Amino acid sequence: MSRQTNLMGNPLDLLGEEVRPGDAAPGFNLASNDLNAVSLDDTSGVRVINVVPSLDTPVCDAQVRRFNEEAATLEGVSVYCVSCDLPFAQKRWCGAAGVENVTTLSDYKDGNFGVAWGTMIDALKIQSRAVFVVNGHNTVVHAEYVPEVTEHPDYDAALAAARGAA
């Protein structure tokens, strides 16, 4: 059975399996803004992994800005944003938006994050909208796959999970 998300009401298939609370966080290999490889093992502690289709769209822009603001109040929590935007575009967007509390990571090379975490929209080869919280033991403690890509995630639930795991 295929998993789906919706984009303006149109169903689109997702690659990979759904990640649920209690699951071990799947591994990944992403690119930082300076093109260095970043894996799950390069991160530690409590992490919010904020997944967006593209930083250059209104909801994604607002979502990352919101997590950037909240990150300043999340002691002991790291916040990441994963998209398929090129690292150069991510760096440009962060500079223009004044985003300094979120680390952007790109899945542009092969979509391995999207497949491992079940967020890759097959037809478009971009991420769907999702938010995960991973604790210091690499266990997923919160997972939200937003059913309509153009809608916001439940910020309060994700932030509560991050605070509870810290």
Query: Which tens digit of pLDDT belongs to each residue from 40-62?
Result: 999 999 999 999 999 999 999 99
Q: How many CB atoms lie within 10 A of CB 16?
A: 18
CB 138 within 8 A of CB 40: yes
Q: In what order do the strands lie in the sheet with 3-7?
A: 3-7, 10-15, 120-121, 126-127
Domain map of the chain by residue range?
A: 11-161
Half-sphere exposure of 82 (CA within 13 A, CB side): 32
Catalytic residues: 60
Q: What pTM was estimated for this model as a whole?
A: 0.96
* Residue 144: strand, helix, or coil: strand
- pLDDT of 26 higher than 80: yes
Return the sign of the alpha-carbon dihedral for residues 21, 165, 112, 97. positive
Q: Where are the alpha helices (DSSP H) in 20-150?
A: 58-71, 87-97, 112-117
Range 108-112 average pLDDT: 97
Range 118-144 average pLDDT: 97
Assign domain 11-161 to a CATH class. alpha beta
| Residue written as token pair 């059913």 | 147
- Could you tell me how far CA 39 lies from the centroid of its own chain? 14
Q: How many CB atoms lie within 10 A of CB 6?
A: 15
